[in-house]
A and B are shown apart, each in its own frame.
Chain A
């Protein structure tokens, strides 16, 4: 998953993104099923998260909750670090250039 694309989707507020690695049972609401699984993994139903499908992957976006579970794999944390500016390359003095006098 391209984290940069996910940051464009979810924004730059501090948050975690997990992918749901299990399958959703037929005839069940994927959002409800995955949210309930996430609540079980978190150990509480007092959670706030978004469940959304991006390019065929079910993702959980949460600003508050951290889980450790085989069913939810951490895709990454937002915001992404700012890219470091490239160091300036010192210019070599041109020996052919005559000195001003």
Chain B
């Protein structure tokens, strides 16, 4: 972003990218630093729909199971210029359009501010936005914030209790209690009920860097999961979130695996971007 950016421009750029009205640097606001911005890949048409422009509320269709649509909302403050702030990011199981009310929602405080481009070769920084049919993820090095919404896989609970959510909101900077699913079914005899659950992402093992016979380094990527003890340790796969080796890359680094880009979160997770 340029130092001249306004609150409205900051907001319009982020919202426009999510809803797909901004898919090239030429469409960014005059306050964006177009010289140092780039777009790769194509917009995931049909996944994200803005349902309320005033409260910046979107619907998101599940990437593999279109029967599930959940909602998210971005809240901004009224800060001026570089002091503008995206304060809150909420995920909801449902939404009532007439009253613009999120149903069964949880949120995280994100506090992302615009920043002028830092052109260090090692750490070029701005705001990264990943949009795919299975996840939406944001990172801001200068704001110290990385977070997103990821699709969850199906399991016995989702088969039995169809209102059990199939998306989570994740703080990819925190090392514990970093996943929240706002509305899931707790199984506890007569006390069973829908509730929100918080957990820490789990992985099968800690990957290590390996080389093949040609001497090429292979970046081992393991799937990531979340499990809830309140559901008898039901496990959900987390779409597009991969565990990589410890301290392989700095945050916001980008690498390719078979031509598909990944971007690295601060705690040794990679986000699939396409």
Contact = CB atoms under 8 A, between A and B. Distances in A.
Interface of A: 5, 8-11, 13, 31-32, 35-36, 39, 45-55, 61, 63-64
Contacts of A45: 55, 99-101
Interface in B90-144: 90, 92, 94, 96, 99-107
Contacts of B266: none
Contacts of B193: 9, 52-54
A36 B101 contact: yes
Contacts of B230: 9
A77 to B, nearest CB: 16
B55 A50 contact: no
B103 A51 contact: yes
B213 interface: no
Nearest to A57: B193
Given A32-B96, A39-B99, 5 more contacts: A11-B198, A31-B103, A48-B182, A54-B193, A55-B191
B195 A50 contact: yes
A63 B196 CA distance: 11
Contacts of B195: 9-11, 50, 52, 61
A35 B198 CA distance: 21
B46 interface: no
Given A45-B101, A46-B75, A54 B107 contact: no
Contacts of B194: 50, 52-53
B55 A32 contact: no
